A and B are shown apart, each in its own frame.
Chain A
Amino acid sequence: QQQVKQSPQSLIVQKGGISIINCAYENTAFDYFPWYQQFPGKGPALLIAIRPDVSEKKEGRFTISFNKSAKQFSLHIMDSQPGDSATYFCAALTGGSYIPTFGRGTSLIVHP
């Protein structure tokens, strides 16, 4: 049972464009939603995270949009750069578990 569904599996964007990755969850007990960025040969690194009490969080070119009623959240990368090319994972946690449930990842390629 996949509790966090992530799409698309792969994404190709031109430099300067907007990259959008979507995730949907089922467990309403989830209360923390991080995004991880993983470069080839490296482990995932926390990029940005949001709690369900806000609908949007922005850090530089990265924005999380959160829709609690729809149980969906998305990552927007503005002005995408070739250096953003990586695999992105969404995740969700409950306060009682602290073990993330990960989406299957999105491979992002930003063409120069």
Chain B
Amino acid sequence: DADVTQTPRNRITKTGKRIMLECSQTKGHDRMYWYRQDPGLGLRLIYYSFDVKDINKGEISDGYSVSRQAQAKFSLSLESAIPNQTALYFCATSDSGRGRNQETQYFGPGTRLLVL
């Protein structure tokens, strides 16, 4: 969905390096999410934020941190990257309202991360 953008799209880094993945949205949604996708494991939630002052851990938050800089921006950081963080990372947004888009998540195109 072009309304949710992620940068970079691809990244190669070395073990121990700090990296940041960024997500921006123009949908005006209040909720934002970070997931990682690994083959055979589906999507697993890393962190989520229901508004600018609300940050919550997901299933697999260890080794990651996030920052909600504004309603439209939600960044994911790997403080010291390790090889098992090699994965495809997705940002998603949703609206807390109860209209026809209730509970629907809209995904960015993903960031493919390789940690050597």
Are A and B associated in one complex? no
A-side residues, CB < 8 A to B, are none
